[in-house]
Structure 1
Amino acid sequence: MRRTTALLMTSLLASAAALAAPTAAQARGTADTPTTGSCVAYLSGPFGVGVCSGLEPRRAWSVGAKCMSGITVTSGLRLGDGTATANCGPSRAYSTWYSIGPILP
């Protein structure tokens, strides 16, 4: 069961990252955009922070950040309302975004 869950989360994050450009994720709606609720992503030092509220409890989402060191980091997969962080470690984040995925069964 743990392997199945880990595999599903990994594929969802990879799909979301491949489909969403850092600036386009907030700019345009897609089939995966929730019809209710809202999300926002912002910078806080070495973190990219995402906050979602009003989402369906099984709606998958994550937040990502581009670090000054040149790497891109993402948070873990979240479901429904909550807060997520992407940590650049000792580097600072300079760009952040959120990705909204499907409703999980």
Structure 2
Amino acid sequence: MRRTAALLMTSLLASAAALAVPTAAQARTLVDPPTTGSCVAYPSGPFGVGVCGGLEPRRAWSVWAKCQSGITVSSGLRLGDGTATANCGSGRVYSTWVSIGPMLP
């Protein structure tokens, strides 16, 4: 039951992130590049950790991690400054990165 719920939640978050992050062609028109701030991402055990500071309060972002199992997980969307984690469960994190999205109204 727990595994099924986790799989469904992962699918839902991935779908939401796919809708929130525009394609490269759309990025020039839909996403204003951040004018301030920076983000870093790093693996920490089974987690991909992302930390952003100095972002505009309405700037959307999320952290992503590629897991040992081959799946990619996301933290879900965050706004402004903060820390977020993407959980690979008990598996190892191979890579992690932060995706910066649009300014929300």
Q: After TM superposition, is the score higher than 0.5?
A: yes
Q: Report the CA distance shift for 1:42/1:32 in structure 2 as closer, same or farther (over 3 A).
A: farther
Cross-structure match for 2:48: 48
Q: Offset of 1:18 from its aligned partner?
A: 5.8
C-alpha distance in structure 1 between counterparts of 2:87 and 2:37, whole Å: 25
Q: Offset of 1:32 from its aligned partner?
A: 4.4
- Aligned to 1:14, what secondary structure does the other structure show? helix
Cross-structure match for 1:36: 36
* Unaligned runs of at least 5 residues, structure 1: 1-5, 20-30
* Unaligned runs of at least 5 residues, structure 2: 1-11, 25-30
On the 8 A contact 1:32/1:100 being kept in 2, the answer is no
The structure 1 segments of at least 4 consecutive aligned residues displaced by more than 2 Å after TM superposition are: 15-19
On the 8 A contact 1:17/1:99 being kept in 2, the answer is no
**Which residue type is aligned with residue 68 of structure 2?**
M
C-alpha distance in structure 1 between counterparts of 2:23 and 2:86, whole Å: 17
Q: Offset of 1:33 from its aligned partner?
A: 3.4
**Which residue type is aligned with residue 45 of structure 2?**
G
Q: TM-score, with normalisation over the residues of structure 2?
A: 0.73
Cross-structure match for 1:14: 18
On the 8 A contact 1:67/1:88 being kept in 2, the answer is yes
User: How many residue pairs get matched?
Assistant: 85
RMSD: 2.1
Q: Report the CA distance shift for 1:87/1:80 in structure 2 as closer, same or farther (over 3 A).
A: same
Q: Report the CA distance shift for 1:57/1:84 in structure 2 as closer, same or farther (over 3 A).
A: same
Cross-structure match for 2:9: none
Cross-structure match for 1:98: 98
Percent of aligned positions that are identical: 75
